[in-house]
Structure 1
Amino acid sequence: MGLTVVSPGGHTWRLTERIGSGSEGFVYGVEDARALVAKLVPDPPDPEAYRRRVARLVRQRREPRTVVLLAAPVRLAWPMIPVRTAGGTGTDPVDGYVMADMRRAYQPFGHLLTTSARRAFLPRATWATALHAALALARLLGELHAEGYVVGDLKPDNLWVDESGRVGMADVDSWHFTDGREVFPGRMRTPGYTAPERVGAPAGTPPDTASDDFALALLVHQLLMAGLHPFAGHPTDGSDYLSYDDNVLHGRCRLTDRTSVLLPRSVPPADLLPRRLVELFRRAFANPLHRPTGAEWARALAAETAPGRLKVCAVNARHVHTVERPWCPWCDQAGRGDDSYPDDPQEEA
């Protein structure tokens, strides 16, 4: 028997297949002529606070600060209307909301981070696509911060991307924001995408723009380094590899200390990055007081997409790189056993 949800005004929707799940809720298709989905959160820590949070976000759709963010093209899966499950016996109703179906315009962000997914779902993607996606993400985060929103749990799982590098974002209901005098604290954090000052912090420690800026730098690095996490690698100090977060806490990062980790020879070379971006990465990973903001990243990335800043390899037209690199870094990578942007996306692995 399928689920049905009802809005406060009495409108009902029938839910179809489950299309996604996360740490808090589930996303379902919605029977509607419009491209909609519904997110249901079965067990929020404080159900009344969650209902109030969603209601405030729905109301903020009409506020000037949010109207600007929601202008076309759609970049945010913003809550459109609160809903609650209806019908059935013996179970409590579940709260959630209806939002735009991001699948209509985007694909999961992770499809841009691995060679196999790029070849299957984004076959025309090159390093230029990744650069444009990094720029779009930085701009979006900068705009959110300017309007008083903190994402708090910025990670690939709540991001979307298309073949031109446009970026969208979901899980708006987990953000940190204020409405009048009431603060709605960010609730979530994800291993590998948490700023060092929040790793191990007590539950409920609120995020801030600086913690978002750290996660942004991680994601920009992954985009530009073909999915490689900046804190990947086996420690060279004799300790065991435990996690990205452990490497974050100990400052083990190839860009800030190339002797701190061991990485496979097949990963993209570190010197494929333009110098101005390397400087921003080093600032982002060294001191929370001096992390580049989304707006600063956007300016630097826009400069790297300017005419004349990108070069196409003479051997493989899918190998795009910065003009600062005198020879192709992707060919170098291929010579060491891997190729993040192979020349024939249809070729079977």
Structure 2
Amino acid sequence: MKTVTSSDGRRLTLGSVIGKGGEGAVYHIAEAPDLAAKIYNPGKAHERRDKVAAMVAATLHRRSDYVAFPVDTLTSSSGEFLGFTMKRVTGYKSVHDLYGPGSRKVEFPTADLKFLLRSAINLSNAVASIHTTGCVIGDINHSGILVSDKAMVSLIDSDSFQYRSGSTTYRCLVGVAEYTPQELQATQFDKVDRTPNHDNFGLAVLLFQLLFLGRHPFAGKFLGKGDMDIKTAIKDGRFAYSSRKAQTMMEPPPFVPALGDYGDNIRKAFEDAFRPSTQASLRPTAASWGILLKAVESDLASCPADKSHAYPRQLSGCPWCKLERTMGRSLFPAQFNTGAPIMDIGQLLTAIKTMPAPLRAPDPEQVIGPLPGLSRSAAAKQARRERNASGAAGVVATGVALYLMSAVSGFWGVALLIGVIVVAFRSMDIKGRFATELSGAKSGWEEQRKIWESSAGPGTFEKRRNHYVDLASAHAILP
């Protein structure tokens, strides 16, 4: 097993690999189970040596409980810099697994709306604590943020943060376009100093994804011509949920919460966070987000129909119930009281029987938006080639026919001209080929529609509910 040396001369044994990335690997440490060691790949250590040493010297790891800052430097037996130790983060999962409704049901099976809100508060507080250390995250995105089953948040990859030590600024050299503000799009990150306000944009994107079913705030339906990708929408300042629709030319995708579903203060905060860069000073800070979200959390009303739902008291009703009825499926897992010492089969049977079935699956045409990058079908391509070839041949043949009519023989010239006209009309008769291809496409679409309705409709739910009703009924008659 490989050994490394800490700054005080202790020999540390690297254990099994916890994870690997583009820069290096993270290992268990046999002598320090509460720590982990990041060892850089060959060629990477030299790039990070001075920054890591400055972070260790500043004892940043003592100034924020939310971040796995470098604790100590690690070298080889010959004194070559290899990496650093940091606190070991266990029992946490990617924030991406939390904000995606599908993965949330698997990775965070008990997470409800309150859990999402608490995670958003802790993420805001985490970023605020980083800014107090003099660091700027820079490359803020979902891959570096972890969440526990208690909604606690921890940030990793702190050695990529921008950090200023004395007169030296160690820049963050990378970034993800979907979390990068308008003013930094198409920027060379190694040539620009980031600011906390740049982080404020990326934080707002992550908070939006947590609260709006994983949707990106700049992904929606473009009301202009052509398609609109997220990167271009950010560059153009097209916040899809904004009330400034005349300027953004965007509207939200179907089956998403409304911007006002978390109250007027949160609605305004997101509007300010995603304004054009000329108004970047209006972006809420991380600390401001923590205060705003905490105010929402403290004033939530519980939904009388579903324990996993909650909403601001200023709203007239539960927006999640309305959204789930529209979608035809639940967005949060069912909650049961597991603390009861004795299970009442009668109550369980009643609960199963009265559980509402999902509505009919929504039409696929409403769920699937316009498909980018559509190309011509095989029949269309073939028809175009034939038409071009026939047109070229027709021009030549017509010229020959006219020559024959005037210089050689009028009969043969007329005959050739008639033949050209007949061939031209036949080459234009592509209706049959298109009809065949259209029929095949419709058949394939209907087959996929049946699969969709079977998977997303109430049939599977009814079958499973009847199964559990039979089990509960059988249990109830046992002696």
CA distance in 2, matches of 1:208, 1:253: 22
Deviation at 1:40, TM superposition (A): 2.6
Query: Residue type of the partner of 1:59?
Result: A
Instruction: Provide the rounded CA distance (Å) in 1 between the counterparts of 2:89 and 2:107.
Output: 15
Q: Is the 8 A contact 2:175 2:189 kept in 1?
A: no
Give the distance between the partners of 1:320 and 1:295, measured in 2 at CA.
24
Is 1:144 the counterpart of 2:130? The answer is yes
Which range moves more in the overlay, 5-14 or 211-220? 5-14
Say whether residues 1:27 and 2:26 are aligned partners: yes
Q: Is the 8 A contact 1:20 1:28 kept in 2?
A: no
| C-alpha separation in 1, matches of 2:256 and 2:153 | 25
Partner of 2:312: 322
Q: Alpha-carbon deviation of 1:158?
A: 0.8
Q: Does 1:12 align with 2:1?
A: no
SS in 1 for 2:185: coil
Report the counterpart of residue 300 of structure 2 in structure 1. Answer: 310
Q: Which residue of 2 aligns with 1:90?
A: none
Distance in structure 2 (CA, Å) of the matches to 1:240 and 1:53:
42
TM-score (norm 1): 0.85
- Number of aligned residue pairs: 329
Shift in Å, 1:153 = 1.2
Q: Cα gap change, 1:125/1:86 in structure 2, threshold over 3 Å: closer, same or farther?
A: farther
Aligned to 1:121: 107
List runs of 5+ in structure 2 lacking aligned partners: 337-351, 353-459, 462-479
**What letter matches 2:222 in structure 1?**
P
State the SS of the aligned residue for 2:292. helix
Residue 265 of structure 1 corresponds to 254
TM-score, length of structure 2 as denominator length: 0.63
- The structure showing larger relative contact order (alpha-carbon pairs under 8 Å, at least 6 residues apart) is 1
Query: Does 2:315 match 1:300?
Result: no
Cα deviation 1:193-215 (Å, max 9, x = unaligned): 11111110123122111100111
| Amino acid across the alignment from 2:62 | V
Q: Pick closer, same or farther for the CA change 1:53–1:261 going to 2, 3 Å.
A: same
The answer for unaligned runs of 5 or more in structure 1 is 88-92
The AA in structure 1 aligned to 2:256 is V
Q: Deviations over 1:163-220 (max 9, x none)?
A: 3322111111111112222221122211211111111012312211110011111111
CA contact (8 A) 1:25 1:39 kept: yes
Q: Are 1:80 and 2:71 an aligned pair?
A: yes
1:230 partnered with 2:217: yes
Asked if the contact 2:219–2:253 (Cα under 8 Å) also holds between the matched residues in 1, the reply is no
Aligned mates of 1:86, 1:223 — CA distance in 2? 46
Match of 2:51 in 1: 53
Percent same amino acid among aligned pairs? 25
In the TM superposition, what are the counterparts of 1:120-269 in structure 2 within 5 Å? 120-204=106-190, 205-242=192-229, 244-256=230-242, 257-258=244-245, 260-261=249-250, 263-269=252-258
Deviation at 1:116, TM superposition (A): 2.7
> Alignment partner of 1:247: what SS?
helix
SS of 2:70 mapped into structure 1: coil
Give the letter aligned to residue 328 of structure 1: C
| From 275, 285, 304, the counterpart of 2:264 | 275
| Residue in 2 that maps onto 1:332 | 322
Shifted more, 78-87 versus 160-169: the winner is: 78-87
Task: Please tell me whether the aligned partners of residues 63 and 133 of structure 2 are also in contact (alpha carbons under 8 angstroms).
Answer: no
- Between Structure 1 and Structure 2, whose CA radius of gyration is higher? 2
CA contact (8 A) 1:129 1:163 kept: no
* Alignment partners' CA distance in 2, 1:193 and 1:75: 20
Given residue 124 of structure 2, which amino acid in structure 1 is its aligned partner?
A
Matched AA of 2:63: V
Alignment CA distance shift 1:160-1:194 (3 Å): same
Secondary structure of the residue aligned to 1:38 is strand
Task: Give me the whole-angstrom Cα distance separating, in 1, the residues matched to 2:197 and 2:26.
Answer: 29
The structure-2 alpha-carbon separation of the partners of 1:332 and 1:44, relative to structure 1 and needing over 3 Å to count, comes to farther
Bigger Cα displacement from structure 2, 148-157 vs 95-104: 95-104
How far 1:3 moved relative to its partner?
4.6
Distance in 1 separating the partners of 2:107 and 2:316 = 31
* Structure 2: distance between partners of 1:226 and 1:151: 24
RMSD in angstroms over aligned alpha carbons? 2.7
Q: Is the 8 A contact 2:12 2:31 kept in 1?
A: no
